[in-house]
């Protein structure tokens, strides 16, 4: 199942820099692992924002929920999810 996910990150200024840096490094490692596994198919930065649009390919709604809530920066994110379906006019297969 494909999902487009918008993630907006808002790390509080009160979080110590060392802790924020550790969370960002953990987030990067987790995101890259998910990309290598094929679960996180696309990752696009939104210019000028600490945000992204991503496409996830997971087995179920529950799988997506577990994947997103395991993100190290999850407590500091506002997330919206849009389920995707193949468009009948698309020339590329899913």
Q: Which domain holds residue 35?
A: 2-84
Query: 92 lies in a domain?
Result: no
Query: 28 lies in a domain?
Result: yes
According to DSSP, the residues that pair with 78 across neighbouring strands are: 8
* pTM across the whole model: 0.92
Q: What CATH number did the domain enclosing 32 receive?
A: 3.30.70.1060
Question: 10 Å Cβ neighbour count for 72?
Answer: 16
Query: 20 lies in a domain?
Result: yes
pLDDT at residue 94 above 80?
Answer: no
CA–CA gap between residue 64 and residue 10 (Å, rounded): 21
Predicted confidence band of residue 91 (pLDDT cuts 50, 70, 90): very high
Could you tell me the two tokens for 23? 């969370």
Q: Total structural domains in the chain?
A: 1
Predicted confidence band of residue 92 (pLDDT cuts 50, 70, 90): confident
């Amino acid at each position: 199942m494909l999902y487009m996910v918008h993630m907006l990150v808002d790390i509080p200024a009160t979080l110590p820099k060392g802790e924020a840096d550790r969370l960002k490094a953990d987030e990067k490692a987790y995101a890259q692992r998910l990309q290598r596994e094929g679960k996180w198919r696309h990752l696009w930065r939104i210019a000028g924002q600490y945000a992204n649009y991503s496409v996830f390919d997971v087995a179920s709604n529950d799988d997506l929920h577990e994947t997103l809530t395991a993100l190290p920066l999850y407590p500091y994110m506002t997330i919206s999810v849009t389920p995707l379906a193949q468009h009948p006019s698309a020339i590329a297969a899913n």
